[in-house]
Structure 1
Amino acid sequence: MGWWDKKPEERGRWVLDPLVAVGPLRFGMRHEEVKAALGGKWNGGGQGTADGWHWTPYDEDCVTAVYDQDGYLVGVQVAAMGGPFVRLDDVELISRVPSEARAEILGLAARRGAEVTTNRGGDPQIAAWGLSMTTEQEWGWLPEGHVGRMDTVITSALFTAPGVADDAAASVIAGYDVRDLVANPGSWPVTPDDERPRWGWAPLEQVGPLRFGMSPHQVAAALDEAPAGRTGAFPFWYWKESGQWSLHTDHFEGAGVTAQYWAPDGIPQLGAVTVHGRTGPQLHYEGIPLVGITPSVLEAAIIQHVEDHDLGLRFSPAGAAVPDGPHLYLDATRAGDTSVSEPTFFTEDWHL
């Protein structure tokens, strides 16, 4: 059963016992014990790291387990869509409006005397409870009769064992060191459209001042800005030291873009540009603004244009309608409890 087929009453209802267990999963369990606790369901899959940590998805339950180098359960990530509902006292943590969940979590923490900090995603984390809140794009049944992404985000969460930092567990799942990412302070301001610079773009050639094939140094020079954060990986075991470290992205906060690199000849060169939905410059496709737009509004405009001009239409992995041909990918990024459009422009043979 996929998450889209699950009714609320068909999802599990778990209770968090901080630093001890979440639902039937107790920290310190082995994989076979976790699988048994989830009814013996496991679709296979997972990945390991150089120091022996690994993660395993349990897709039917919409949870991901993180195991340490000794094979013991140290983290559980519960998905917003289809995952079990998790409660701590009278606070429901999963599939909530983020601002509402945050207010209730802060209230509970105040009553219990627990310290609340902000994680790198900008959401509450409470080390004393092994709790780190996260969010995901909300999906649901659309009026057209099919499942699609909504304009809103809802809460998910990562639960960890004692002494396990949420960054460490999140790194294992993400496949890179989350410390290399720019931290969100806990706010999601969106720049008004009339205050954004206007950039042009030419498919397969350039985005604003950035030309595909540029080196990282040339990208920084073209933007007149040093990257605020960057991600990369070693070729075999994620971020651990094994082989030559490879640069994947440079994040430019001032310009509001992320440069993505590939190295077909062994040397990093610009292969894609993501324009930040909340703060990046505005770009247009046939007169349609692409950046910082309510996703459903943008999708309706794209579909109408395609129908009016008898063009091809495809859907991105993120579920967005995209005109066929211009090497354009449309995603969405969080803007508080909602989301705004965030496009990526890429060169030929680039794999998103």
Structure 2
Amino acid sequence: MDDRWDVRPESDRPQWVVDPYLGVGPLRFGMNPDEVSAVLADVTAEAQQCITTHLRDGRQAREVGQYPTSGLVLFYSRDEKLEGLAVDGLRGPQVLAEGVPLTGRVPSEVERWMTARAAERFPEDDFELGYLGTGVPCSWSLGLVVSVQRMADHLVTRPVIFAEHVLDDAHHILPQQAWIIY
């Protein structure tokens, strides 16, 4: 059996709370890769695997950090500051927003919650709830996109959380890896 479909038992998932535009769980936006590794050392023995990019000026920058077993993909700016992350719906921590679990759920259930939340809390704001080109819902007040991924022949939610400046153009500031559906 392909181990991509092994779902981490809910009891084994740490619970991380979204702090809109500031971070999630122990992670804070603006941390560098070494700071991320230090705080995640308390959560996992797994080492961060970084993808390095060569910039035009000759410098190298770590742009993507991965914790495959722990279900985290971290996105860094060119100056190596954490600006977003994606949480694997099968292996990642359970991400909570306002007490609602967002990781590994049926997408329509999370979308219903996001729609009801937007209607109740932001009735006059036509921009609170949006959809990316892939049809996945976004909550701008939470700094959150609820993307999806496959689990055999089903889809489950895969939260993408980001820093405030990413709002300017989330689909282009974070790399394509944040938005792929696999």
TM bucket (normalised to shorter chain) is: 0.7 to 0.9
SS at match of 2:15: coil
- Using the size of structure 2 for normalisation, the TM-score is 0.76
> Structure with the greater relative contact order (CA < 8 A, sep ≥ 6): 1 or 2?
2
Code of the residue aligned with 2:34 in structure 1: it is: H
Counterpart in the other structure of 1:221: 38
SS at match of 1:322: strand
Distance 2:107 2:135 in 1: 10
Please, which runs of 5 or more residues in structure 1 have no aligned partner?
1-121, 123-184, 237-241
Distance 1:261 1:187 in 2: 25
Distance 1:302 1:193 in 2: 22
Code of the residue aligned with 1:332 in structure 2: it is: V
- For the pair shown, the structure with the greater C-alpha radius of gyration is 1
Please, which runs of 5 or more residues in structure 2 have no aligned partner?
167-172, 175-182
SS at match of 1:190: coil
Aligned partners of 2:139 and 2:145 also within 8 Å: no
Name which of 110, 116, 122 aligns with 1:298.
110
Q: Sort the Cα spacing of 1:280 and 1:292 in 2 relative to 1 into closer, same or farther, 3 A.
A: same
Name which of 36, 50, 63 aligns with 1:230.
50
Distance 2:133 2:7 in 1: 24
Aligned partners of 1:232 and 1:247 also within 8 Å: yes
Query: How far did residue 254 of structure 1 move?
Result: 4.3
Query: How far did residue 284 of structure 1 move?
Result: 1.7
Counterpart in the other structure of 2:87: 275
Identity %: 30
Query: How far did residue 332 of structure 1 move?
Result: 0.9
Q: Are residue 199 (structure 1) and residue 9 (structure 2) matched?
A: no
RMSD: 2.3
Q: Sort the Cα spacing of 1:346 and 1:234 in 2 relative to 1 into closer, same or farther, 3 A.
A: same
Aligned partners of 1:187 and 1:336 also within 8 Å: no
Name which of 231, 253, 259 aligns with 2:68.
253
Code of the residue aligned with 1:295 in structure 2: it is: P
Aligned partners of 2:87 and 2:158 also within 8 Å: yes
Q: Sort the Cα spacing of 1:243 and 1:336 in 2 relative to 1 into closer, same or farther, 3 A.
A: farther
Distance 1:186 1:253 in 2: 12
Distance 1:209 1:324 in 2: 21
Counterpart in the other structure of 1:102: none
Deviations 1:274-306 (A, max 9, x none): 111111111222232111111122112211222
Query: How far did residue 248 of structure 1 move?
Result: 1.4
Higher mean displacement: 314-323 or 290-299: 314-323
Query: How far did residue 186 of structure 1 move?
Result: 5.2
Counterpart in the other structure of 1:14: none
Code of the residue aligned with 1:249 in structure 2: it is: V
- Using the size of structure 1 for normalisation, the TM-score is 0.42
Code of the residue aligned with 1:306 in structure 2: it is: A
Q: Are residue 188 (structure 1) and residue 5 (structure 2) matched?
A: yes
Code of the residue aligned with 1:294 in structure 2: it is: V
Distance 1:347 1:233 in 2: 21
Aligned partners of 1:294 and 1:341 also within 8 Å: yes
Query: How far did residue 345 of structure 1 move?
Result: 1.2
Aligned partners of 2:71 and 2:88 also within 8 Å: yes
Which 4+ stretches in 1 moved above 6 angstroms?
none
Distance 1:198 1:344 in 2: 15
Alignment of 1:168-179 (within 5 A): none
Deviations 1:70-125 (A, max 9, x none): xxxxxxxxxxxxxxxxxxxxxxxxxxxxxxxxxxxxxxxxxxxxxxxxxxxx9xxx
Aligned partners of 2:64 and 2:76 also within 8 Å: yes
